[in-house]
A and B are shown apart, each in its own frame.
Chain A
Amino acid sequence: MILVELRKTFRRPRTWATIAVLNALPVLVAVLLVLTDLAPRPGEGPPFLSAVLSNGTLYPLAALAIVLPLFLPIAVAVVAGDAIAGEAQAGTLRYLLARPAGRTRLLVAKLVAVLAFVLVTVLVVAAVGYVIGTTLFEAQPVAGGTSVSGTSLTPEEVAWRTLLAIGYVAVSMLGVAAFALFFSTLTDSPLGATMGALAVLVASSLLFTLDAASPLAPYLPTRYWLSFVDLFREPILWRDVTRGLALQGVYVGALLSAAWASFTTKDITS
């Protein structure tokens, strides 16, 4: 069943189109930077972008930081929102469940397929960023990269911290996927599920900027998204990273339970 769902996801032209479009923006940014040589000053613009002109190996992180606030969540919300509601809209859900695929099994398989999509997407963005970064910018050979704190890191350190960062971004996106998957079990309209998840994210980002909402801030799903930057401080600032992981864990757990409860007791009338 899991294999079936993976095949469905990755045999869809739409999946690859989404990933391709997602990579277009970081590529465009890289080309513009090379042509103009105008990097944002440190502390401005997306994280890491100021550093990439001197060290291209940091570009995977810059690429992730560019797509993280908007494009990556949209892509994840589209795929996860489509998971159940898309099958309902196409009418294939009733055939899957009468087959019988088993509701819990189907939900788990959908979750794994969405998870695989998140991982593949994040990895492709990072990989394309790496290729772009090392071909367009100088890769500092021996001295290694610089941490955000100003001290230098060896290439090995950059490499494993980059992997950690990729994992952290993937977990953050899993939170988005959980919202979209839950909404997907409530409606027969994939667009509605996707929009619902995005509305949550927009609301969360908006509340984050509002001082009056500061008591809520630690619980907002987008609060710790950019904390992967802390992995490149020297020493690593684990506080926000662990809080971010815990917060996403709670959201994912609660939303998936809710999705399971709603899907297994639902009348399929689509």
Chain B
Amino acid sequence: MSAVIATRGLVKRYGRLRAVDGIDLDVRAGDVYGFLGANGSGKTTTVRMLLGLVLATSGDIELLGARTARARQRVLPRVGALIEGPASYGHLSGRENLALLDASGPGGSWRTRTRRIAAVLEQVGLGGVGRRPVKAYSLGMRQRLGLAGALLRRPDLLVLDEPTNGLDPQGISEIRALLIDLHRGGTTIFLSSHLLAEVEQLCSRVGVLDRGRLVLQDELATLTAPTGATVVVTPAPEQARALLDGRLTSVTGDRLVVRGSDPAEVNALLVRGGVPVTGLAIERPTLEEVVLARTAASPDRVEAHP
């Protein structure tokens, strides 16, 4: 599969601080790529480098097959972006804002503009917003308008930074459905977020950034693959412990982790021994556990050095 985003040794230095420290991103066509990282880990700087807003100190970026900075400017019309929250001209209506943005660069014909604007507003749920100025919009409406701006030219790649910020739970699930729909239509999605749950629900591949380094990049299914153990919940942990001695890896209250990837076998063993079983599951690490295991303390924590 071809690379939609590929970086090699990408570095951004601000003085002595290495905000992004040699990362090798690999986003392939058809991915929904979750770019995870705590606040301040370098996510936004990376996104800005991909879009040509911040100039990389060193390293290469390939975007939709374009390798040089000049070539990347030519493919940017095929990229829709939502960068660190939406922004618009408050005194103009949403429609006018989209028209101005579309007219500001290549790749958006004015002949189809009105139609495209109407279509994307409908898509993000702002079809009936009328002529009211953006300054009268709620945070959620602005977020939807920002997303509409990103979708205006039916992009091949969507780069979204915290797209559900400011939305209520219904709004979040609506946007998630929209993204899944777009992905089905062939759009590659690069989703930068610090919300693990959001990434876990949407993404097929995950990259984790910690203090400017990419500490993890893999298929979500691989990361959360079964560990080869079974989780048993029982009201009689002592009895079970006697029965399973040697196979237990941990006991916390009524929750036991047993070596062996076949829950039926473990269940049969326990039931034969007269141990009541109230819960039984294959052990899988959650994305949160995987991420926490690979990353250090939150980078916005500033410890005092004695």
Chain A residues proximal to chain B, CB less than 8 Å: 1, 3-4, 7-8, 11-13, 90-92, 94-102, 106, 265, 267-269
Q: Is the CB of A1 within 8 A of B51?
A: no
- The B interface, classified by DSSP as helix, strand, loop or mixed, is loop
How far does the Cβ of A218 sit from chain B's closest Cβ, in whole Å? Answer: 40
What residues on B are CB-neighbors of A91 within 8 Å? 84-87
CA distance A1 to B108 in the complex (A): 12
User: In the assembled complex, which residues on chain B have CB atoms less than 8 Å from the CB atom of A8?
Assistant: 89, 100
Contact B100 A4 (CB under 8 A): yes
Closest Cβ of chain B to A267, distance in Å, is 4
Between-chain CB contacts (< 8 Å), 15 pairs: A8-B100, A91-B84, A91-B87, A92-B87, A94-B53, A94-B84, A94-B87, A95-B149, A96-B101, A98-B79, A99-B77, A102-B73, A265-B55, A268-B54, A269-B54
CB distance from A266 to the nearest CB of B (A): 8
Cα-based distance from A93 to B52 in the complex (angstroms): 12
Give the number of chain B interface residues (Cβ < 8 Å).
28
Q: B91 touching A97 by the CB < 8 A rule?
A: no
Complex contact A98–B89 (CB within 8 A): no
- Write the B91-114 contact mask toward A (1 if CB under 8 angstroms, else 0): 110000000110111100000000
Q: Are A97 and B52 in contact (CB under 8 A)?
A: yes
**Which residues on B are within 8 Å of A, measured CB to CB?**
48, 51-55, 73, 76-77, 79, 81, 83-92, 100-101, 103-106, 149
- Evaluate contact between A268 and B48: CB separation under 8 angstroms: yes
Min CB gap B103→A, angstroms: 5
Contact A95 B52 (CB under 8 A): no
Q: Is there contact, CB below 8 Å, between B104 and A1?
A: yes
Q: Which of B83, B92, B100 contacts A94 (CB 8 A)?
A: B83
Bound form: Cα–Cα A97–B48 in Å: 10
- With A and B bound together, what is the CA distance between A106 and B54 in angstroms? 17
Residues of B within 8 A of A102 (CB): 73, 105
Q: B101 touches which one: A11, A13, A95, A267 (CB < 8 A)? A: A95
Q: Tell me, in angstroms, the Cα distance from A32 to B91 when the chains sit together.
A: 37
Contact check, B89 vs A100: say whether CB atoms are below 8 A apart.
no
Residues in B whose Cβ lies below 8 Å from that of A7: 100
Cβ-neighbour of B88 out of A92, A100, A101 (below 8 A): A92
Q: Which residue of A lies closest to B45 (CB)?
A: A269
Q: Chain B residues near A96 (CB, 8 Å)?
A: 101, 104-105
Closest to A98 in B: B51
Known: A1-B104, A267-B55. A98 touches B83 (CB 8 A): yes
A88 and chain B: residue at smallest CB distance: B87
